[in-house]
Structure 1
Amino acid sequence: MAQIISLGALQVASRDDLEKSLGGCEASSCGSKEGPADMDPATWAKVKDHPCYSEEAHHYFARMHVAVAPACNIQCNYCNRKYDCSNESRPGVVSERLTPDQAARKVIAVAAAVPQLSVLGIAGPGDAAYDWRKTKATFDAVSDRLPDIKLCLSSNGLALPDHIDELTAMRIDHVTLTINTLDPEVGAQIYPWIYYQGKRHEGVEAARILLARQMQSLELLVERGILVKVNSVLIPGINDAGMLELNKVVKAKGAFLHNIMPLISDPAHGTHFGLTGQRGPTAAELAAVQEACAGGANLMRHCRQCRADAVGLLGEDRGQEFNLDQLPEVVEDAPEARAAYRDWVAREREDRRAATEQATASLPEAPAALRIAVATKGGGRINQHFGHATEFQIYEVDSDGVRFLTHRRADNYCTDGHGTDDRLAEIIRSLDGVPVVLCARIGDAPRAHMAAAGIEVIDAHAQDYIETAIAAVFRDRNAETAAKTA
């Protein structure tokens, strides 16, 4: 059966067709598989296709979470695990709880339909290490059928040391640990209780035990060559003052990435913090903490705080397309489609890097950096209609080059073919401090409204690489400024 790969304008029916679409060369020989100069080959091999561990990979590859681990051994004041919930986009919520067998069937179905899939993660909705029997059974079943899919899990670290030998023996080379503070007094404000060694612990005692186990987990994983991403929820007035020291410590202990992400605090979610009025950080506060940590552990800036049953590229969720009642009883895999897609990505990456290097080789000097928002569907290109964007990726450019900063969520402006003024106002608010937007297309009316708000929307670079488009806009703007002052 022919397999379809689609990414923007690329749509081919087989591996042979893909090779032809890339210029007739043999796809497996096209494109460098070497990583960045500052990364050793072994680490690059682990992260190059992992959208959460590589900012570059998140443009090309999809992740999938399966909700097989509902049990949890701690209570967090920012967490409320919800089921049958398709409208909330945050950790801990799912539409379906799955058995390991059901999860394996779903993963195979997604892998056959989404050639971008490269990673299977278990992020709860409880704790993957505490609910270990179900986690291990799921990974075992998937590994037998999909050996090319990377496996990773998320944990609070409390139970993880108990399973380190099994985890190491499995094909797991990425683990996310949530560590929110180094101070047990602060921890007591975040965690009301933990369950450890058959007993419930509360307050500072609970936080002290949890911290010790988290540090032990980090050390054990690093010793065994498993890449560790540390997640930290930034909670203003509670743990923000200690985030810089936490960043230094996790770097010293060998964490590969540190993801400082904002508290999601909404009374409708039913969390303790949401119900008691604890606010989340503003975008400026989050950026300030992240900037303060620059030079410490490498920061992840492209996190989307995914649901525990998310499917697709970061920034999208196709989970509702793959509910159990929509899946056939017998699902056939399509490994050739994934192999062909990865060959295409290898070529695309090399082309994009060469184009970026050329475009940014001699950027003009400017008194200040320019921030630019991008509407993209993936692939590292300007390929999304302004009205369809549910988020904008924010970049910064100056004479030193183009850098990804973060993403900002925004409800899509167009619904049922018509624009919505309320949503446009929200987009304008979310793009505060960003004077330029690049998209594939925009209508005259929203363009005029954006211009009235001081934001220029440009669709002249549709389908260009993000970095080359940004470099071109930066040059044009500086040329215009120079002409005016001449």
Structure 2
Amino acid sequence: MSCSCTSSSTQESLEQEVMDKINNHPCYSEGAHQHYARIHVAVAPACNIQCNYCNRKFDCSNESRPGVTSNKLSPEDAVKKVLYVGGEIQQLSVVGIAGPGDALANPKKTFDTFRMLHEKAPDQKLCLSTNGLRLPDYVDEMVKYNVDHVTVTINSVDTTGEIGAKIYPWVHWNHKKVFGAQGAKILLEQQLKGIQMLVERGILVKANSVLIPGVNDKELPNVAKKLKELGVFLHNIMPLLSKEEFGTYYGLNGQRSATDQEVMEAQEACGMDMKLMSHCRQCRADAVGLIGEDRGEEFTPDVFQDMTWEALEDKYDMEARAKKHEVIENWRAALEAANDRIKIEQASKEELSSTGETKLVAVTTAGEGTINLHFGSAKEFLIYEVGDKAIKFVMHRKVENAYCKGPEDCDGSYPIEEIKETLKDVDLLLTEKIGDCPQGELKSINLISDDSYALQPIEKSVFAAAQKYFFVNELKTEQELG
């Protein structure tokens, strides 16, 4: 007699297979993103849809957002760049094609790149990002080259196409442009079909959704429900970045960006249905390094273009890279032990707090899981929600200017107002070092800052500091009253 149920051992095997796939993937694993690096190679300039939030820019070094790149690469140069960067940054573990257009609107360049990477850098995880319009056509090619992580941007599941029409003016389908709701309906049909095919083939799918205030903000919970039905692994809710200087339709027509608070509300609404990615940095199409940093300017084509394949393969040094990854894994294991496993992903307030009360704690870090960055140097903050029982990572928040510009660029101004606005709902800041002046400024918005946890593990410190400032005294008072 046969049984259709999945055995516990089979289920455990499947779960372990997924964990192995994401363990050193900085986008799919929040635990990996402070330890492993990624590179995006800009081999895909063309796109087959128009998005109102997108304006692809070439030779642009002063904007950090999707669709922007400083160098377009041939497949051969892209692989040379990966080998060179992989030798310089040995914690590099992922190669992605994320534009500046759409990976599958440039299929020959995309799969030529993957074919060569599969041969010359077999230890790299291969990813691509797509709008999904041509996704069903290329699933077999992805399987062929072991592309086992695919990101699909899906902003609505409204079958009428009315919401999609506000986001996508047109899609290019069957050799012509299809406008408005009809184009949006075609795009959605292709996205859902392609995602289902990927999941059936065992490819991990991350779905990106751009939170557009007044357009799809109420639709995103429906997106999350549909993604769960399809078996999507991860849902990433990204705030709309909309400024006039970006040159997008939204930016030029007054559509405002989404706020950090709106993103948190959307995460709460969608998190009941889907596992959420909360550490996305909305990277450039040529991003290099740890998530949250971009070292792309160090690796311009003149650095690697004229090197021989033999020299590049020697530089890549697979054996040295393997040893580096072993060191990272040992460090991660030590951190996990030090952090006492007090972090819960997708936790509700009840799981974090016995009273329902939680606080927000911001952290400055340069990576590696410790509080190792001075306040004056921070251009982003990791945000945790903390109760008296546990913590969870919520999001990162960027600022355009660090408090201290450094001696070369110092003009006597200290841009604290943007930081205060960014952290206005945060209760506690943990940093490696902070001076009296910025500490006083932050105190004016009732934000406590503390540098006594410098160089300590982040998660353990966040929990301990929150207990110290917010919860221990309350518990003592309750015990005394009892």
- Of the three residues 49, 52, 59, the one matched with 1:84 is 59
Call closer, same or farther: CA 1:58–1:46 in 2, change over 3 Å: same
| 3-state SS in 2 of match to 1:252 | helix
- The CA distance in 2 between the partners of 1:271 and 1:246, in whole Å, is 24
| 3-state SS in 1 of match to 2:105 | coil
Q: In the TM superposition, what whole-angstrom CA distance separates every residue of 1:81-128 from its partner, at most 9, and x where no partner exists?
A: 000100001100000011111111111111000112110000011110
Report the alpha carbon displacement of residue 360 of structure 1 after superposing the two structures with TM.
Answer: 7.9
1:414 aligns with 2:404: yes
Report the alpha carbon displacement of residue 329 of structure 1 after superposing the two structures with TM.
Answer: 1.9
2:239–2:258 Cα contact (<8 Å) kept: yes
Aligned-partner residue type, residue 391 of structure 1:
E
| 3-state SS in 1 of match to 2:383 | strand
Report the alpha carbon displacement of residue 193 of structure 1 after superposing the two structures with TM.
Answer: 1.0
Report the alpha carbon displacement of residue 342 of structure 1 after superposing the two structures with TM.
Answer: 1.5
Counterpart residue number, 1:255: 232
Counterpart residue number, 1:202: 179
Q: In the TM superposition, what whole-angstrom CA distance separates every residue of 1:3-54 from its partner, at most 9, and x where no partner exists?
A: xxxxxxxxxxxxxxxxxxxxxxxxxxxxxxxxxx998100001001111101
Counterpart residue number, 1:434: 426
Aligned-partner residue type, residue 94 of structure 2:
V
Counterpart residue number, 1:448: 440
Gaps of 5+ in 2: 1-11, 345-351
Q: In the TM superposition, what whole-angstrom CA distance separates every residue of 1:444-478 from its partner, at most 9, and x where no partner exists?
A: 32223222332222111111110111122123223
* Bigger shift: residues 352-361 or 178-187: 352-361
Counterpart residue number, 1:17: none
- The CA distance in 2 between the partners of 1:62 and 1:378, in whole Å, is 11
Counterpart residue number, 1:392: 381
1:359–1:472 Cα contact (<8 Å) kept: no
| 3-state SS in 2 of match to 1:395 | strand
Call closer, same or farther: CA 1:104–1:422 in 2, change over 3 Å: same
- The CA distance in 2 between the partners of 1:159 and 1:435, in whole Å, is 46
- The CA distance in 2 between the partners of 1:286 and 1:409, in whole Å, is 13
Aligned-partner residue type, residue 42 of structure 1:
E
Q: In the TM superposition, what whole-angstrom CA distance separates every residue of 1:418-444 from its partner, at most 9, and x where no partner exists?
A: 586552121111001112111111223
- The CA distance in 2 between the partners of 1:360 and 1:226, in whole Å, is 27
Counterpart residue number, 1:28: none
2:49–2:168 Cα contact (<8 Å) kept: yes
- The CA distance in 1 between the partners of 2:178 and 2:398, in whole Å, is 38
| 3-state SS in 1 of match to 2:334 | helix
1:413–1:420 Cα contact (<8 Å) kept: no
Counterpart residue number, 2:199: 222
Call closer, same or farther: CA 1:166–1:365 in 2, change over 3 Å: closer
Aligned-partner residue type, residue 180 of structure 1:
N
Report the alpha carbon displacement of residue 356 of structure 1 after superposing the two structures with TM.
Answer: 2.0
Q: Which has the higher contact order (CA 8 A, sep 6+)?
A: 1
Aligned-partner residue type, residue 65 of structure 2:
R
Aligned-partner residue type, residue 340 of structure 2:
E
In the TM superposition, what are the counterparts of 1:336-485 in structure 2 within 5 Å?
336-357=319-340, 368-410=357-399, 411-417=401-407, 418=410, 421-477=413-469, 478-479=471-472
| 3-state SS in 1 of match to 2:178 | strand
Aligned-partner residue type, residue 107 of structure 1:
V
- The CA distance in 2 between the partners of 1:190 and 1:364, in whole Å, is 39
Call closer, same or farther: CA 1:251–1:241 in 2, change over 3 Å: same
Q: In the TM superposition, what whole-angstrom CA distance separates every residue of 1:400-433 from its partner, at most 9, and x where no partner exists?
A: 3121011111221111235865521211110011
Counterpart residue number, 1:13: none
1:414–1:420 Cα contact (<8 Å) kept: no
Counterpart residue number, 1:212: 189
Aligned-partner residue type, residue 101 of structure 1:
E
Aligned-partner residue type, residue 416 of structure 1:
G
2:34–2:367 Cα contact (<8 Å) kept: yes
In the TM superposition, what are the counterparts of 1:99-178 in structure 2 within 5 Å?
99-178=74-153
TM-score (normalised: structure 2)? 0.89
* Bigger shift: residues 331-340 or 459-468: 331-340
- The CA distance in 1 between the partners of 2:80 and 2:48, in whole Å, is 28
Counterpart residue number, 1:243: 220
- The CA distance in 1 between the partners of 2:13 and 2:434, in whole Å, is 39
- The CA distance in 1 between the partners of 2:68 and 2:77, in whole Å, is 18
Report the alpha carbon displacement of residue 220 of structure 1 after superposing the two structures with TM.
Answer: 0.6
- The CA distance in 2 between the partners of 1:71 and 1:380, in whole Å, is 38
Counterpart residue number, 1:73: 48
| 3-state SS in 2 of match to 1:189 | helix
- The CA distance in 1 between the partners of 2:51 and 2:356, in whole Å, is 45
- Of the three residues 316, 324, 329, the one matched with 2:307 is 329
| 3-state SS in 1 of match to 2:68 | coil
- The CA distance in 2 between the partners of 1:447 and 1:235, in whole Å, is 34
Aligned-partner residue type, residue 58 of structure 1:
H
1:364–1:475 Cα contact (<8 Å) kept: no
- The CA distance in 1 between the partners of 2:266 and 2:286, in whole Å, is 29
Gaps of 5+ in 1: 1-36
Report the alpha carbon displacement of residue 364 of structure 1 after superposing the two structures with TM.
Answer: 9.0
| 3-state SS in 2 of match to 1:349 | helix
1:45 aligns with 2:20: yes
- The CA distance in 2 between the partners of 1:333 and 1:121, in whole Å, is 18
| 3-state SS in 2 of match to 1:414 | coil
Q: In the TM superposition, what whole-angstrom CA distance separates every residue of 1:228-247 from its partner, at most 9, and x where no partner exists?
A: 00111111111112111111
Report how many aligned residue pairs link the two structures.
450
Report the alpha carbon displacement of residue 357 of structure 1 after superposing the two structures with TM.
Answer: 2.0
Q: In the TM superposition, what whole-angstrom CA distance separates every residue of 1:254-274 from its partner, at most 9, and x where no partner exists?
A: 100111111111111111111
| 3-state SS in 1 of match to 2:192 | helix
- The CA distance in 2 between the partners of 1:256 and 1:364, in whole Å, is 27
- The CA distance in 1 between the partners of 2:353 and 2:134, in whole Å, is 53
1:269 aligns with 2:246: yes
